[in-house]
Amino acid sequence: MGWKRIVRLILLGLIGLFVLIQFVPYGRDHTNPPVTAEPQWDSPRTRELAAGSCFDCHSNLTEWPWYTNVAPMSWLVQRDVDEGRPTLNFTQWDQPQAEVDEVFDVIAEGEMPPWSYTLVHWDARLSDAERQELIDGLRATFRASPPIQGVGEPEDE
């Protein structure tokens, strides 16, 4: 068996696998539950920064681009939204927020927004100044409109 045939078989196998994974239903639940309450933002700029870098995973205002319908990308995006909304949801401010105390640290350390998100969403990349502006704005927002403290997410069994 020649190397060209092996390469061809591998490519056909990968294409077949790609087609098959499109039938896995996870990753296509593109629902946005109703917005129940937002914080009283300290400024339109803070909301703009949060919306641009946080809302797709941490709100009920998720935008679902075309690639969120194609596996395996759909799986990754759905996982991020499924994990993000229960952790902190800016559009369900009338409900407990599980990890609101960690918001400032993860933004300051550059963990949020994650690099995988900014890879596709260039406008979500925050400069150091914007990162500090978002932190300061969220601190002021949380003072004026305190989140309901959550008890954390349930542990996996």
Tell if the pTM clears 0.95, that is, is over it.
no
- Domain assignment present for residue 27? The answer is no
- Domain assignment present for residue 128? The answer is yes
**What is the model's pLDDT at position 156?**
43
Task: Give yes or no for residue 100 having a pLDDT over 90.
Answer: no
Closest CA to 59 of 107, 26, 97, 114: 97
**What is the model's pLDDT at position 87?**
93
- Portion of the chain with pLDDT greater than 90, in percent: 62
- Domain assignment present for residue 6? The answer is no
- Domain assignment present for residue 145? The answer is yes
- Domain assignment present for residue 119? The answer is yes
**Total tally of structural domains belonging to the chain:** 1
- Domain assignment present for residue 54? The answer is yes
Closest CA to 40 of 143, 148, 149, 131: 143
Q: Kindly report whether the peptide bond that precedes residue 34 is cis, defined as omega within 30 degrees of 0.
A: no
Q: Which domain holds residue 42?
A: 33-149
- Domain assignment present for residue 117? The answer is yes
SS3 125: coil
- Domain assignment present for residue 155? The answer is no
**Cβ atoms 92, 36 nearer than 8 A:** yes
Q: How far apart are CA 5 and CA 121, in angstroms?
A: 39
Q: How far apart are CA 34 and CA 36, in angstroms?
A: 6
